Amino acid sequence: MDDIIQTDAALNPGNSGGPLVNSRGEVIGVNTMVILPAQGICFAIAIDTAKYVTGWLIKDGRIRRSYIGVGGRNTKIDRRVVRYRNLPVETGLLVLYVEPDSPAQAAGLREGDIMVEFDGQPVASIDALHKLLTGAKVGVKSRLSVIRRTERIELDIVPEESRTKAA
């Protein structure tokens, strides 16, 4: 999980939503959960993430996310391919599954492709892709750069509004 703070600050069940404060009195997160069987390990959402989400909830009453319809995992890209293709990243998102009738299928994305850029931004991991699939991308044609075998291919993709938690 991205932008999550692990803390040893005491958090009791039912106390989620309170501030996580540093030694200077600055709010750095919002306490979220505790895993009691794991010696009381606690987690908080980073304050920048909380501010972002709060802004959208106030404005729209919900969080809009875009989705392209892929399942994948992070993968390392061969150094020779990185150098030869002048890639912005040394890791990417290996596509393991393309949903039928999804934006990814319509764009021509295939299982085995490695996503390296979305709309001009590097995609080094699935977390990086999730950060880029914002509500602002819904219905907007974006450029997707993939490595297929050893070739770099540019695809046009139009993300849809997410109805689930899939990428």
Q: Determine the pLDDT at residue 1.
A: 57
**Topology (CATH level 3) of domain 4-60:** Thrombin, subunit H (2.40.10)
Q: What phi and psi, each to the nearest 5 degrees, are found at residue 65?
A: -130, 150
Residues of the chain with pLDDT under 70: 1-2, 36, 38, 164-167
Residue 45 near residue 4, CB atoms below 8 Å: yes
Q: Determine the pLDDT at residue 150.
A: 87
Q: Determine the pLDDT at residue 4.
A: 82
Q: Determine the pLDDT at residue 35.
A: 76
Q: Of the candidates 135, 50, 145, 60, which has an alpha carbon nearest to the alpha carbon of residue 107?
A: 145
Distance CA(155)–CA(125), nearest Å, equals 18
**Topology (CATH level 3) of domain 66-161:** Pdz3 Domain (2.30.42)
Distance CA(131)–CA(65), nearest Å, equals 10
User: 4-60 and 66-161 share one CATH topology?
Assistant: no
Domain residue ranges in the chain: 4-60, 66-161
Q: Determine the pLDDT at residue 62.
A: 82
